[in-house]
Amino acid sequence: NGCFWHGHDCVRGARAPKTNAEYWRLKISRNSLRDSSNVEALKAKGWRAVVIWECELKELSKVKKRLAAFLH
So what's the pLDDT on residue 48? 96
DSSP for 37-65, written as a single string: HHHHHHHHTT-------GGGGG-HHHHHH
The pTM for the full model equals 0.85
Q: What's residue 66's pLDDT?
A: 96
pLDDT at 61 over 90: yes
Q: 9-55 pLDDT, tens per residue?
A: 999 888 888 899 999 999 999 999 999 999 999 999 999 999 999 99
Q: Does the pLDDT of residue 71 top 90, yes or no?
A: yes
Distance, in Å, from the CA atom of 15 to the CA atom of 26, rounded to the nearest integer, reads 14
Element (H, E) at 33: helix 21-44
